[in-house]
Amino acid sequence: MENSITRWIYRHSPVAAQNLFCSAYGVVKRCDRYFGKHYQHFFDLFQASERWSFEELRAYQNERLAEVVRHAYEHVPFYRRRFDSLHLKPADIRTVEDLAKLPYLTKSDIRGAGTDLRADDCKGRVHVIPSGGSTGTPTLYWRSKRSHQMEYAFTWSRRRPGVKQGEPYASFTGVKIQPPNSFRRPFWRANWAANQRMYSTFHMTDTTMPLYLDDLQKHPRVWLEGYVTPIYLLAKYILDHHYPFSAFPRAVFTTSEELTPRYREAIETAFRTKVYDQYGQGEQSSSITQYACGHLHNDMAYAITEFIPVGQQGDMPVVEIIGTSLYNEAMPLIRCQTGDTALLPSRPVACPHSAGQIVEAIRGRTGHVLVTRDGRRISNPALSLVTSESPNVKAMQYVQDEIGAIRVLVVRESGYGAEDEAQMLRLLRQQIGESDTVVVEHVQELIRTDGGKTLPILSRLPRQ
């Protein structure tokens, strides 16, 4: 179990012992994710539903929605109050189209409701999922064991084409395998339970990049997965420095940040393989996956995703992503405002691979990074702990105009005080180290792009 004591022991242990700790924790995670009746049930469901027609998928969504709404009204105080205030009963929400009778569930609603959004009949272990969100708003979610196993069943039935469980892979996420301000080598650890090599995304500089690539050469991986930015930085180093990389993976799976065409081209060129992108959130309210066909498809068996028109980009509609979870009885989310947008094709496109609507691109997950004075690049998902552990921060945004200087814009909740600010700065320092200048500014609202989007990191540095 991970807590302050085990983290202290880990930090003060030699690398060999840390590998053992990572592997032991990996065993616990494997049992939690894959052992039990729920995983196999959902794996079979998602494999079968991939062949369903649009009408069959919609009928299934309507069936699940009716159950979600009934359960939410009977067991979740927040929804009971919301429905009663609107003079609605569960029977009034029978189809996906009926969802329009309900207002959006905003991040502010979720934070304000607190435990009133947690079902009073949820039994057994509940996972607490922190989320900084692609909009920089901190939120905590409760996830039942059933929906937790559903997540990994969907991953292995849909999101990993061409690879198998147990094959060696490398991950590039926000896991802090060693303190960000410590440059003690190596910058990776082994989880032998999953045949996983975990690479730190907090120590990637032009100086350390060859070390990462050398290790990947010595320990070839079947696939890479993780945040877009660190994988792109590796690819860019290979291309810019003509690094003789030859341990090409079979596939690369990206998530959590916007995969721009430039980033995709660099990764696919450097690693000589295909990139598969995926969109989702810890709250499990929406999923959009790139399949072997090359298209991004709305995953209709996973959740209900509404595409609400908000604008136009050329001849392609820009839509807001509104999601409804279908399986998390611990904390059902109905019409959740994700804060993200997508581009849809200018005209309907049919694909034999899946009946789910095709999406051209996901917008809102910025690829901006903070660049520290010592050359490290820190992406937004790696900073999620700062936002998730700052309950009196309504929203925050990192603005960088020059290397080594960071402005933190904070929209405060009513209870915000000096202790909150000290805690926030302490957590931020854990991520970026002590050498950079950090200035906190209290603001009424965050800076928006010309398109109206609020980015968690707004970098005004020349793009690399």
Please, are residues 49 and 301 in contact by the beta-carbon 8 Å criterion? yes
Predicted pLDDT of residue 451: 47
Predicted pLDDT of residue 367: 55
CA distance 142 to 282: 9
Q: Which of 338, 363, 388 is the last residue of a domain?
A: 363
Query: What confidence tens digit (pLDDT) does each residue in 50-86 have?
Result: 999 999 999 999 999 999 999 999 999 999 999 999 9
Do residue 57 and residue 14 come from a single domain?
no
Query: What confidence tens digit (pLDDT) does each residue in 119-153 have?
Result: 999 877 788 887 655 555 556 789 999 999 999 99
When comparing pLDDT for 35 and 340, which is higher?
Answer: 35
Do residue 73 and residue 152 come from a single domain?
yes
Q: Is residue 353 pLDDT above 60, yes or no?
A: yes
% of the chain surpassing 90 pLDDT: 67
Q: DSSP label at 293?
A: T
Tell me phi and psi for residue 446, to 5 degrees.
-85, 165
pTM of the predicted protein model:
0.84
Query: What confidence tens digit (pLDDT) does each residue in 1-16 have?
Result: 577 888 889 999 999 9
Q: DSSP label at 380?
A: G
Query: What confidence tens digit (pLDDT) does each residue in 162-201 have?
Result: 999 999 999 999 888 988 778 889 999 999 999 999 999 8
Query: What mean pLDDT do residues 204-230 have?
Result: 94
Query: What mean pLDDT do residues 208-214 have?
Result: 97
Indicate whether 338 belongs to any domain. Answer: yes
Alpha-carbon distances of 66 from 59, 90, 240, 245, rounded to whole Å: 11, 7, 54, 52
Indicate whether 392 belongs to any domain. Answer: yes
Do residue 306 and residue 394 come from a single domain?
no
Indicate whether 265 belongs to any domain. Answer: no
Q: At 313, which helix (H) or strand (E)?
A: strand 303-313
Do residue 175 and residue 241 come from a single domain?
yes
Please, are residues 281 and 140 in contact by the beta-carbon 8 Å criterion? no
SS3 of 96-146: the string is HHHHHHCCCECHHHHHHHHHHHCCCCCCCCEEEEEECCCCCCCEEEEEEHH
Q: Is residue 435 pLDDT above 80, yes or no?
A: yes
Predicted pLDDT of residue 36: 86
3-state SS class at 454: strand
CATH code (residue 98): 3.40.50.12780
- The residue whose two tokens read 């660099």 is 266
Residue burial 109-126, b: 16+ Cβ < 10 Å; e: rest: bbbebeeebbbeebeeeb
Predicted pLDDT of residue 389: 82
β-sheet with 296-298: strand ranges across: 188-191, 196-199, 169-172, 223-227, 251-255, 274-280, 287-290, 296-298, 358-359
CA distance 59 to 300: 10
Indicate whether 172 belongs to any domain. Answer: yes
CATH code (residue 389): 3.30.300.30
Predicted pLDDT of residue 450: 55
Do residue 132 and residue 75 come from a single domain?
yes
Query: What confidence tens digit (pLDDT) does each residue in 371-425 have?
Result: 899 888 887 767 877 877 888 887 789 999 999 999 999 989 889 999 999 999 9
Do residue 141 and residue 245 come from a single domain?
no
In terms of C-beta density within 10 A (0-12 exposed, 13-18 middle, 19 or more buried), how is residue 128 classed? exposed
CA distance 83 to 131: 26
Query: What mean pLDDT do residues 267-292 have?
Result: 96
Do residue 172 and residue 236 come from a single domain?
yes
Q: Domain limits at 17?
A: 4-35+163-249
Q: Is residue 305 pLDDT above 50, yes or no?
A: yes
β-sheet with 457-459: strand ranges across: 437-442, 405-412, 393-402, 457-459
Predicted pLDDT of residue 137: 57
Do residue 320 and residue 423 come from a single domain?
no
Query: Looking at this protein, which amino acid is placed at residue 343?
Result: L
Please, are residues 276 and 385 in contact by the beta-carbon 8 Å criterion? no
- List CB contacts of 161: < 8 A, sequence separation 6 or more: 251, 276, 291, 292
Q: Is residue 253 pLDDT above 70, yes or no?
A: yes
Do residue 173 and residue 241 come from a single domain?
yes
Mean pLDDT of the chain: 91
Alpha-carbon distances of 233 from 166, 311, 452, rounded to whole Å: 26, 32, 28
- The residue whose two tokens read 């690539």 is 213
As for how many domains the chain has, the answer is 3
Predicted pLDDT of residue 462: 79
CA distance 427 to 421: 10
Do residue 27 and residue 56 come from a single domain?
no
Do residue 421 and residue 387 come from a single domain?
yes
Tell me phi and psi for residue 220, to 5 degrees.
-55, 140
